[in-house]
Amino acid sequence: MSKPPEENAGGYLRGLAAALGGSRAGIRAIGEARPLAFASEVAVAGQRVWPRPLYLGLWGLSVAAVGADITNKVCDAPPEKRRNVGIYELAFHVPASLVVPAGIIHVVVRASERSLAQNAYAARLPPRLKSMLPIAVAIAAIVPVVPAVDGAFEAMLRPTLGKALGLESH
């Protein structure tokens, strides 16, 4: 008997790693594809309508992209700085790539849903379209949110954690 998708979420990442064959070039390509890190925001935007495996898969894609980016930066760092680069990149990516943007998108979706519920014209829309509009608004919001969040976390971490780890020029 196969496990439900929720219990097999780790298998998706293992499958991705196996597909890449542990290839350094594959890891580099995924890590350099920065937009993949924000697949989790698309997951959050459509959480109420996406099938559960798609939702988990999008989160898995984000985690894989973040992990690949961290791996690339650690491997590219001088050997004596690799540990500190790993700490810095993890401290940057978890909030800047995963947590804060997902929270913002969640707020955008809920605000869009409330706005639609209060709009007389929205009552005339087909139910499927009505359920997809907040998702479209949230996905469009990703474009300005991502650079703003990245920039804010970089500005906070570089002079504080970066300096403490000896990565001023990082």
What pLDDT shows up at residue 117? 85
What pLDDT shows up at residue 61? 92
Does 163 have pLDDT greater than 60? Answer: yes
Q: Give the span between the Cα atoms of 54 and 45, in whole angstroms.
A: 12
Does 23 have pLDDT greater than 80? Answer: no
Q: Which of 25-29, 42-46, 116-120, 166-170 is predicted least confidently?
A: 166-170
Choose between 21 and 62: higher pLDDT.
62
Q: Give the span between the Cα atoms of 106 and 141, in whole angstroms.
A: 11
If pLDDT is split at 50, 70 and 90, which confidence band does 12 have? very low
| CA angle, residues 92, 16, 136, in degrees to nearest 5 | 65
> If phi over 0 gives left and psi between -120 and 50 gives alpha, with beta otherwise, what is residue 59?
alpha
Report if residue 169 sits inside a domain.
no
Q: Give the span between the Cα atoms of 131 and 48, in whole angstroms.
A: 9
Predicted confidence (pLDDT) per residue in 50-105, tens digit: 899 999 999 999 999 999 999 999 999 999 999 999 999 999 999 998 899 889 98
Report if residue 139 sits inside a domain.
yes
Boundaries of domain holding 145: 5-164
pTM: 0.77
Q: Which of 10-14, 30-34, 141-145 is predicted least confidently?
A: 10-14
Report if residue 170 sits inside a domain.
no
Q: Give the span between the Cα atoms of 46 and 105, in whole angstroms.
A: 10
How many domains does the chain contain in total? 1
Q: In sequence order, what are the residues at sequence separation of 6 or more whose Cβ sits closer than 8 angstroms to the Cβ of residue 22?
A: none
Choose between 12 and 131: higher pLDDT.
131
Report if residue 86 sits inside a domain.
yes
